[in-house]
Amino acid sequence: MPVTGSNPHSSRVIPREYVSAFILVTSLFFMWAVAHNMNDILIRQFQKALDLSRGQASFIQVSFYLAYAVAAIPAGYAMKKLGFKRAILTGLLLYALGAALFYPAAEVGNYSFFLVALFIIAIGIVFLETSGSGYITLVGDPATAARRINFAQSFNGLGGFVAPLIGGVFIFSGIEHSPDAIAALSPQALQEYRALEARQVQLPYLGLAGVLVLVALLVAVTRFPASGARASSSGTPTLAGVFAHRSFVWAIVAQFFYVGAKIGVWSYFIDFTKELTPLTPEKTAAYYLSASLLSFMVGRFIGTYLMKCIAPRRLLALERWSTSAWWASRWWPAA
């Protein structure tokens, strides 16, 4: 991928010596998207399996994203101390541990156990996001860093697309009882039904844990060349120092609202589908969710391509403007 960059000796977005490590790190974007979007399936599944209200099921996302608040800064310090490769291995093993804990959690049918497992998964993902995103941006010409990270993040969209398919096929059993039918079940039959639904998560999450261990082994035997990041002429940057940059602070604010809106919509997509069209099977609703995430993935790849000829800042501004114009046309149609 030839580009014009600030380094006259590098004509590639991804320098040849980094390709193997880049492919592995890019696969992590896919892997953590699977966990994020499987939560959307779990919110619906646990309402059935554990007899939760919609509000109680929301603690799936609370537990998951609480890990970001708790572990983000420690993960950054760990990455600085351990290096990119060891930090990535730490994240993969924590992620795999949390996924494996779904098996005993389903056996006992305890919601708190599941929340602890999700918290561990999320801590692992925090390590992966912190180290993986950093490595991707630093392994080539700084002028093409935005294209590299956006390309890698496009596989985040692929993971988002695949996760509801996995949930629809392997987690949703296809057995859906109406409230009246639930009330008519005997205590023993109801207990057996909920136990069956809880165990639906065991195979997918054990499989996920196995894949993560395999990826960890590949990372362990793959050479990760030094990122080649240039030292700052003003000395070592501090955590407090980065907040002196207004653009950084406003980027955090924008990201906060963006993630909140995204999670709020997709977390309850299946619930809202069932509420609006009660005859829609859960599996079908999961496939609808997957289709919406497919459009998200396509947009990512298109955005990466457009960065070849449009500056990232202008492309983002154009996207925000077009989205705002679309919503305005929906809310204030012409008379």
- pLDDT tens for 159-191 read 999 999 999 999 999 999 888 888 899 999 999
* CA–CA distance, 132 with 27 (Å, rounded to integer): 10
**Distance, C-alpha 90 to centroid of its chain:** 17
Q: What is the mean pLDDT of residues 53-69?
A: 95
- pLDDT of 250 > 90? The answer is no
* CA–CA distance, 302 with 306 (Å, rounded to integer): 6
Residue 308: band (very low, low, confident or very high) from pLDDT cuts 50, 70, 90: confident
* CA–CA distance, 195 with 50 (Å, rounded to integer): 8
Q: Considering only residues 78 and 1, tell me which one the structure prediction assigns the higher pLDDT.
A: 78
- pLDDT of 319 > 80? The answer is no
Give me the pLDDT at residue 232, please: 46
Query: What's the token pair of residue 139?
Result: 């392994």
**Of the candidate ranges 11-20, 113-122, 129-138, 326-335, the one whose mean pLDDT is the lowest:** 326-335
- pLDDT of 231 > 60? The answer is no
Give me the pLDDT at residue 160, please: 92
Q: What is the mean pLDDT of residues 304-314?
A: 75
Look over the chain and give the mean of its residue pLDDT values, rounded to a whole number: 86
Give me the pLDDT at residue 216, please: 97
Query: What's the token pair of residue 108?
Result: 């006992």
Residue 15: band (very low, low, confident or very high) from pLDDT cuts 50, 70, 90: confident
Long-range contacts, 294-299 (Cβ 8 Å, 24+): 294/157, 294/161, 296/157, 296/160, 296/161, 297/154, 297/157, 297/158, 297/160, 297/161, 298/157, 299/157
Give me the pLDDT at residue 115, please: 98
The structural domains of the chain, with segments of one domain joined by +, span: 16-227+263-310
Query: What's the token pair of residue 31?
Result: 């892997």
Spatial CA neighbour of 34 closest among 203, 207, 151, 208: 208
Give me the pLDDT at residue 144, please: 81
Give me the pLDDT at residue 255, please: 82
Q: Are 218 and 89 in contact (CB under 8 A)?
A: no
Q: Are 203 and 103 in contact (CB under 8 A)?
A: no
Spatial CA neighbour of 138 closest among 80, 73, 81, 70: 80
- pLDDT of 314 > 80? The answer is no
- pLDDT tens for 274-290 read 999 999 999 999 999 99
Q: What is the mean pLDDT of residues 301-305?
A: 77
Q: Are 197 and 171 in contact (CB under 8 A)?
A: no
Give me the pLDDT at residue 178, please: 85
- pLDDT of 266 > 90? The answer is no
- pLDDT tens for 100-135 read 999 999 999 999 999 999 999 999 999 999 999 989
Residue 4: band (very low, low, confident or very high) from pLDDT cuts 50, 70, 90: very low
Residue percentage of the chain with pLDDT more than 70: 87
Q: What is the CATH number of domain 16-227+263-310?
A: 1.20.1250.20
Q: What is the mean pLDDT of residues 36-51?
A: 96
Residue 8: band (very low, low, confident or very high) from pLDDT cuts 50, 70, 90: very low
pTM for this structure?
0.84
| Main-chain dihedrals φ then ψ at residue 296, nearest 5 degrees | -60, -45
* CA–CA distance, 145 with 138 (Å, rounded to integer): 7
Q: Are 168 and 139 in contact (CB under 8 A)?
A: no
